A and B are shown apart, each in its own frame.
Chain A
Amino acid sequence: MLFKAFKIVAISVFAAQPLAAKNLDQPVGEVVLTVSGTPKAENAGEAAQFDLAMLEGLGAVEFETSTIWTQGVQHFEGLPLIQLVDHLGITGTTLRATAINDYSVDIPLADAVEGGPIIAYKHNGEEMSVRDKGPLWIVYPYDSKTEYQSEVVYSRSIWQLDRIEVIE
């Protein structure tokens, strides 16, 4: 069922991309994200590694929102968290996201919903450098819901993301 669903999503978004049945493609460029604790989808031992192109290939959503860390309305483009979760067949309840500076935060899997947070890889149309909170930044559409304007959500908006671990 899950595979079937994945296949349909994959076909619908990236029809031309060849898909691995059990294991993911090997990252070609620099690995930007390592997801561990996903036994059904691994390409680096017991983890799934992604380069930016792989992430871009998994799906893309764009939205505009203001953030407390920026001035004015910002444009973000990235992979919806739910798509990553679906793609990797993650069935747990909590993800632990960790940044390059070792800042880490637990994100409940329940946050991964349609219209929810994305793993942004483009900010205002440009890829993000580490100096500009890149290369990956979990961004919630803060302006769409007041629930997303809370301290907890701000704390989950982790930038300079490079690891995700399914902990439960």
Chain B
Amino acid sequence: MAGTKRRKMWLRLTAFVLPALLGLAAIAFLALNVSRDITRLNSASSDNIQWNLSQTEVEFLQFELELAQALQGDSPDIRSLRRKFDIFFSRIRTLQQASIYGELRAVPKFAANLATVAAFLDRAVPVIDSDEAALPSLLPALEQKTRAVRPDVRRLSVSGLNYFAVESDFRREAFSGTLLHLAIAIAALVAALAVLACYLAVLNAQNVRRRTQVIEASERMNIVTSTSLDAVVVADTLGRITDFNAAAEQIFGYSAKDAVGCDLGELIVPEHHRAAHQAGMARLRETGEKRVVGSGRFKLEAKRANGEVFPVELAIQSADTKEGEIFIAFLRDISSQVQAEAELVLARDRAMAGEKAKTDFLATMSHEIRTPLNGLLGNLTLLEETRLSTRQSRYIRNMQTSGKLLMSHISDVLDITKFDAGKLRLHTVDMNISTLLKDIVDSLSGAAAGNGSTLEWGWTGTPLNWVHADRDRIQHILMNIVGNAVKFTKDGRISITTQASAAEEGKTILRISVRDTGIGIDPGLLPQIFDDFATGDSSYDREVGGTGLGLGIAQRFVKALGGRITVESTPGEGSVFNVSFPVQAIAEPEPKGEARFDAPARKQANVLLVEDNEINRHVAREMLTAQGHFVTEAHNGREAVEMAEETGFDLILMDISMPVMDGRSAARAIRTSGGASARAPIIAVTANAMAEEQEAFLKDGMNDVLTKPLTREGLLQLIADHPSPAPPAPEGAALRSQQLVELEETVGAVALKPLLNRFAAEMEAFLKSLENGQDLAANETAVEAHRIAGSAATFGLPELRSALIRLEKAALSQERQAAEDALSPLRNTWTSTKPVLNLF
């Protein structure tokens, strides 16, 4: 590219120089001509030709005059005459001989005249040279001849003069021609030089412009680098600094003057990086291998003049220059950034620690509040069963109402805390939406009626009854919204409409709309309606009250369900709350064998109560003993393990947080001890039960979770759900299936008992054969399971039947893992079913 350009320029220059040289040569040639002509004029080989020619005539006339005088006088001056003749003779001889007249002699006319004159002289010589005495007599003849030749002499000089006049003209013309040529050549040369000068001027202007541009670009570059906030350090391949900008001066604390020429490594690379730096430079010099050059940004450490080592972010690029390869490093002091990051991390950690502390505090507080509250409510329950006056009963009910409200507030706070801490886990179960709605309407219709309002519910479109969802959360949401509607509607109508629509991935979107004709919500409050502690204006507060947490919690739960909640309202006309969330639609499950709760008092269970709080222990004991159960108390996990080792309990109620040994450890110890109560149902009793904790409890070997506060109903239900695996007495178990009862009535107790015994024996044998190593996935297993399942159906034991059918299916499809998974539920179901059979 540059080569082509240079060649072009040379070509152009040659185009100017060549004519100039030619012009110069022409001028030199012409100048030589001029010089020659001038020399010719100077050397003037002519001698004054004109004078000579005219002198010829003069000298002839003098001779003729002398001759005439000699003829007139008596004594002629012969000597003078001869002298005049000789002079004329000499002149003619000169004309004949002189080289300068050579050309003239070539002119025929001149030559003829000269010849005539010469002939005259030749004839005259003998006369002139004759004897002095004889001469005078010869003179008249000579005089005649002389007169005769005069015109010839005249013609001679004139013809000569003419010739030289022409010759002179010719020479002048030739000379002027030469001069003209010279002038033209000079003019041409000057023109060529002028053009060349113009071209050079243009070139020069171009160069000046380029130079200016280069200087400007360089200055711009300098400004850019000097004003750069990043340090720019340029070094050569030897690592010597060649440039050091203002930012670099500021960052590193060296002046550019001091830095330039120094070794880069010694100046700014910290000592612990120096070996690596030098190795890198050496590698670069030897192999040209670049590891960091051009590899983008990276972080490193650098050293300031005061020795301080600080973090930098840098990028290095290389460039080829005339002086060789150079390396340009752009460095940014990121110490403040790093510090800010560290501070941010610290602040975040602190915030997180604070958040955790808050969560922990709230969880702890809720636990610490609930425990005494449990005691309070439990004792109220016990107190309720003593002999009381009407007023006392009313006080107790008031106290219970206040206590339950307090409990629900604590639960709200706990729920918010859990959600905000990301600990809210869904606990999905199979549930019936219609049933739920019906229950809610039933529970709130009384309150609605109290306000003079009607409460109704219904489906839009096809009803969707059975779904797999978090029943408790949904209930909480709806209770809150519908409860609000009831609270804020006087003499109006509250309608709940539900609609199910299909959505992606087999999910179903459930839309529940709660519409009321109540007082409505002020538009200014709508945006904050779901905020925590949002309450209506003070007049409503006075009328209805509330913590303002209800809708906040509802919204959190809806979000946890993956749905959304919206509200529309017109003050004075009413509000509409729309809740939508995805659910998993399921088929209606097989109806469970409804275990009949029948006269629990007559069936006594031997219960181990593990609880460190004395009041709670007392309440629970009172509740259980009031129902006729035997209660053994343990104050901590260690005591419980020891007791369970020796005694076979029907049920173990296990508090979780206890001194010495907590509930979870105790449950694990009991399960693995192989003691008398190793297979007894263990129920976790906790005030602070989160879903994942509940799962953990079950993993520890516990069978169920009972949330504090303990209620009589809850306790009794639990005992019904978990009959003792080995009832201490025939009448110990409290459960019988409806079908069995009917069967007993049909066939009579005497006939039923042996059937049940046989069935139990078969079941035991089957389980034992499986435990003894029978192939679970074998065909016999499937056949046997199928046969026993049929019997279970006959005796009205659907759970046992389901468990058996599950095992049968797994065995048929030879899925060993599925079969093993099915074995444990079967065993558990049998464990809980066996006592029932013994009741008959």
Contacts and interface: CB of A to CB of B under 8 A. Distances in A.
Interface of A: 66-71, 100-101, 103, 129-133, 146, 149-151, 154-155, 159-160
A75 B86 CA distance: 22
A151 B90 contact: no
Which 7 residue pairs spanning A and B have beta carbons closest together?
A130-B86, A151-B44, A69-B98, A154-B47, A68-B100, A131-B89, A149-B43
Q: Is the interface of A mostly helix, strand, loop or mixed?
A: loop
A129 B59 CA distance: 17
Contact of A150 (B43, B62, B97, B99): B43
B97 A71 contact: yes
Nearest to A128: B90
Interface residues of B, number: 21
A131 B93 contact: yes
Contact of B86 (A66, A67, A69, A129): A129
B47 A68 contact: yes
Contacts of B93: 131-132
A102 to B, nearest CB: 9
Nearest to B42: A150
Given A150-B43, A151-B48, A155-B47, A70 B99 contact: yes
Given A151-B46, A154-B48, 19 more contacts: A68-B98, A70-B99, A71-B97, A71-B99, A100-B87, A101-B55, A101-B87, A130-B86, A131-B89, A131-B90, A132-B90, A133-B94, A149-B43, A150-B44, A151-B43, A151-B44, A151-B47, A154-B44, A154-B47
Of residues B47, B55, B98, which shows the largest number of chain A Cβ atoms within 10 Å of its Cβ?
B47
B507 interface: no
Interface in B732-768: none
Of residues A67, A69, A133, A149, which shows the largest number of chain B Cβ atoms within 10 Å of its Cβ?
A69
Nearest to B84: A101
Contact of B97 (A70, A100, A129): A70
A68 B99 contact: yes
Contacts of B55: 101, 103
A98 to B, nearest CB: 13
Contact of A68 (B45, B62, B83, B90): B45
A14 B811 CA distance: 172
A61 B47 CA distance: 25
A71 B90 CA distance: 15
Contacts of A70: 97-99
B98 A130 contact: no
A130 B83 contact: yes
Contacts, number: 60
Q: Is the interface of B mostly helix, strand, loop or mixed?
A: helix
Interface in B550-604: none
A69 B94 contact: yes
Contacts of A71: 97-99
Given A68-B100, A71-B99, A154-B47, A100 B83 contact: yes
Interface string B97-119: 11110000000000000000000
A69 B83 contact: no
Nearest to A70: B97
B84 to A, nearest CB: 8
Contacts of A66: 99
Contacts of B89: 130-131
A70 to B, nearest CB: 6
A154 to B, nearest CB: 4
Nearest to B128: A131
15 contacts: A68-B100, A69-B98, A71-B97, A100-B83, A101-B59, A130-B86, A130-B90, A131-B89, A146-B43, A149-B45, A151-B43, A151-B44, A151-B47, A151-B48, A154-B44
A69 B97 contact: yes
A51 B225 CA distance: 108
Contacts of B46: 151
Contact of B47 (A69, A100, A132, A133): A69
B99 A133 contact: no
Nearest to B89: A131
Contacts of A149: 43, 45
Of residues A67, A70, A101, which shows the largest number of chain B Cβ atoms within 10 Å of its Cβ?
A101
A156 to B, nearest CB: 11
A151 to B, nearest CB: 4
Contacts of B86: 129-131
A124 B466 CA distance: 163
A41 B283 CA distance: 109
A70 B94 CA distance: 7
A121 B48 CA distance: 24
A100 B66 CA distance: 15
A154 B49 CA distance: 11
Contact of A160 (B45, B48, B90): B90
Contacts of A155: 47-48
Contacts of B98: 68-71
Nearest to A66: B99
A42 to B, nearest CB: 26
Contact of B87 (A68, A69, A130, A154): A130
B266 to A, nearest CB: 81
Contacts of B90: 130-133, 159-160
A79 B86 CA distance: 24
Interface in B34-56: 42-48, 55
A63 to B, nearest CB: 18
Contacts of B59: 101
A69 B92 CA distance: 11
Contacts of A133: 90, 94
Nearest to B52: A69
Of residues B42, B44, B83, which shows the largest number of chain A Cβ atoms within 10 Å of its Cβ?
B44
Contacts of A150: 42-44
Nearest to B58: A101
Contacts of A103: 55
A68 B48 CA distance: 11
